[in-house]
Structure 1
Amino acid sequence: MTRHDARVGHREWIGLAVLTLPALLASMDLSVLFMAAPWIAADLTPTPAQLLWIMDAYGFLMAGTLLVMGALGDRIGRRRLLLAGAAAFGAASAVAAYAPTAELLVLARGLLGVAGATLAPSTLALLRGMFPDEGRRRTAIGIWTAAFTGGIAVGPIVGGLLLEHFWWGSVFLINVPVMALLLAFGPVLLPESKDPSGPRFDLVGALLSIGAVLGVVHGAKQLLHSGPAGWAALAAGLALGAVFVRRQLRLRDPLVDVRLFTDGGFAAAFGGYVVMIVGSAGLGFLAVQYLQLVLEIRPFAAALWQLPTVATTGIGIALATTLVRFVRPGLVAGSALAVAAVGFLLVARVGVDTAPAAVIAAYSVVTLGTGMLVPLAIDLIVSAAPPHRAGAAAGLGEAGSELGGALGIAALGSIAGVVFRSRFEPEGLPGPAAETVGGAVTAAEALPGPVAERVVASAQQAFTAGFTTAASVTATLLAATAALVVLRLR
Structure 2
Amino acid sequence: MTTKTPRRRAAASPASPWTAFSVLLLPLLLVSMDVSVLYFAIPEISQELHTTATQQLWIFDIYGFVLAGLLLTMGSLGDRIGRRKLLLIGAAAFGAASVLAAYAPSAEALIAARALLGIGGATLMPSTLGLVRSLFTDAAQRAKAIGIWSGAMAGGIALGSVMSGLLLEHFWWGSVFLVNVPAMVLLLVVGPLLLPESRDPEAPSRFDLLSVPLSMATVLPAVYGLKKIAADGFEPRHLLFLAAGLVFGILFVHRQRTVPHAMISRALFARRTFTTGIALNTLVMFAMMGSAFFTTQYLQSVLGRAPLEAALWSLAPSLVIGGFAPAVAALAQKTEKRYVIGGGFLLAAAGFALLSQAGTDSLLLVLAGAGVLGCGVVSVASIVTDLALSATPADKAGTAGSLLETGQEFGGALGMAVLGSVGTAAFQAGLPAGAPQTLGEAVAVPGLADAARAAFVDGMAWASYTAIAVLLAGACLAFTLLRTRGQEPEREQEQEPRQESAAEPVC
Q: TM-score, normalised by structure 1?
A: 0.93
- In the alignment, the residues of structure 2 paired with residue 405 and residue 466 of structure 1 have an alpha-carbon distance, to the nearest angstrom, of 19
Number of the residue aligned with 1:221: 227
Q: Call closer, same or farther: CA 1:7–1:275 in 2, change over 3 Å.
A: closer
Native 8 Å contact 1:313 1:372 kept in 2: no
Deviations 1:245-264 (A, max 9, x none): 11101122321235644632
Native 8 Å contact 1:162 1:170 kept in 2: yes
1:464 pairs with 2:457: yes
- In the alignment, the residues of structure 2 paired with residue 9 and residue 328 of structure 1 have an alpha-carbon distance, to the nearest angstrom, of 34
Residue 142 of structure 1: how far off its partner (Å)? 1.7
Q: Which has the higher contact order (CA 8 A, sep 6+)?
A: 2
Written as runs of structure 1 = structure 2, the 5 A alignment for 1:12-411 is: 12-199=17-204, 200-224=206-230, 225=232, 227-257=235-265, 260-261=268-269, 263-354=271-362, 356-411=363-418
Residue 132 of structure 1: how far off its partner (Å)? 0.8
Q: What number of residue pairs does the alignment pair up?
A: 472
- In the alignment, the residues of structure 1 paired with residue 465 and residue 324 of structure 2 have an alpha-carbon distance, to the nearest angstrom, of 22
Native 8 Å contact 2:268 2:393 kept in 1: no
For 1:395, the aligned partner's letter is S
Native 8 Å contact 2:152 2:322 kept in 1: no
Residue 72 of structure 1: how far off its partner (Å)? 0.7
- In the alignment, the residues of structure 1 paired with residue 305 and residue 464 of structure 2 have an alpha-carbon distance, to the nearest angstrom, of 21
Between 217-226 and 65-74, report the one with greater CA deviation: 217-226
Residue 471 of structure 1: how far off its partner (Å)? 0.5
For 1:209, the aligned partner's letter is S
For 2:241, the aligned partner's letter is A
Residue 292 of structure 1: how far off its partner (Å)? 1.2
- In the alignment, the residues of structure 2 paired with residue 6 and residue 172 of structure 1 have an alpha-carbon distance, to the nearest angstrom, of 34
Number of the residue aligned with 2:428: 421
Greater helix proportion: 1
For 1:368, the aligned partner's letter is C
Residue 233 of structure 1: how far off its partner (Å)? 0.5
Deviations 1:19-71 (A, max 9, x none): 00000000000001101011101111111111111111111110111111101
- In the alignment, the residues of structure 2 paired with residue 388 and residue 197 of structure 1 have an alpha-carbon distance, to the nearest angstrom, of 8
Native 8 Å contact 1:212 1:240 kept in 2: yes
For 1:239, the aligned partner's letter is V
Residue 5 of structure 1: how far off its partner (Å)? 9.5
Q: Call closer, same or farther: CA 1:57–1:229 in 2, change over 3 Å.
A: same
What's the C-alpha RMSD, in Å, of the aligned pairs? 1.7
**Secondary structure of the residue that 1:32 maps to in structure 2?**
coil
Unmatched tracts of structure 2, length 5 or more:
1-8, 484-507
Native 8 Å contact 1:315 1:371 kept in 2: no
- In the alignment, the residues of structure 2 paired with residue 456 and residue 258 of structure 1 have an alpha-carbon distance, to the nearest angstrom, of 55
Between 43-52 and 375-384, report the one with greater CA deviation: 375-384
- In the alignment, the residues of structure 2 paired with residue 7 and residue 57 of structure 1 have an alpha-carbon distance, to the nearest angstrom, of 36
Residue 242 of structure 1: how far off its partner (Å)? 1.0
Residue 299 of structure 1: how far off its partner (Å)? 1.3
Native 8 Å contact 2:158 2:315 kept in 1: yes
Residue 265 of structure 1: how far off its partner (Å)? 1.5
- In the alignment, the residues of structure 1 paired with residue 10 and residue 313 of structure 2 have an alpha-carbon distance, to the nearest angstrom, of 44
Native 8 Å contact 2:12 2:195 kept in 1: no
Native 8 Å contact 2:27 2:184 kept in 1: yes
Between 226-235 and 37-46, report the one with greater CA deviation: 226-235
- In the alignment, the residues of structure 1 paired with residue 61 and residue 421 of structure 2 have an alpha-carbon distance, to the nearest angstrom, of 19
Deviations 1:411-441 (A, max 9, x none): 1100001111222114x44xxxx22212222
Between 76-85 and 303-312, report the one with greater CA deviation: 303-312
Native 8 Å contact 1:320 1:373 kept in 2: no
Native 8 Å contact 1:309 1:364 kept in 2: yes
1:11 pairs with 2:16: yes
Native 8 Å contact 1:121 1:392 kept in 2: yes
Structure 1 vs Structure 2: percent identity of aligned residues? 45
Native 8 Å contact 1:425 1:459 kept in 2: no
- In the alignment, the residues of structure 2 paired with residue 315 and residue 147 of structure 1 have an alpha-carbon distance, to the nearest angstrom, of 10
**Secondary structure of the residue that 1:307 maps to in structure 2?**
helix
**Secondary structure of the residue that 1:67 maps to in structure 2?**
helix
Deviations 1:254-309 (A, max 9, x none): 21235644632222221111111001101001111111111211111111111221
- In the alignment, the residues of structure 1 paired with residue 358 and residue 57 of structure 2 have an alpha-carbon distance, to the nearest angstrom, of 31
Residue 384 of structure 1: how far off its partner (Å)? 2.2
For 2:326, the aligned partner's letter is A
- In the alignment, the residues of structure 2 paired with residue 125 and residue 223 of structure 1 have an alpha-carbon distance, to the nearest angstrom, of 33
For 2:424, the aligned partner's letter is G
Number of the residue aligned with 1:448: none
- In the alignment, the residues of structure 2 paired with residue 275 and residue 367 of structure 1 have an alpha-carbon distance, to the nearest angstrom, of 14
Native 8 Å contact 1:222 1:229 kept in 2: no
For 1:436, the aligned partner's letter is T
Native 8 Å contact 1:221 1:230 kept in 2: no
Residue 6 of structure 1: how far off its partner (Å)? 13
For 2:388, the aligned partner's letter is I
For 1:388, the aligned partner's letter is D
Deviations 1:183-229 (A, max 9, x none): 00111111111111241211111211111000110010111316222
Unmatched tracts of structure 1, length 5 or more:
445-451
Native 8 Å contact 1:315 1:368 kept in 2: no
Residue 92 of structure 1: how far off its partner (Å)? 0.3
**Secondary structure of the residue that 2:199 maps to in structure 1?**
coil
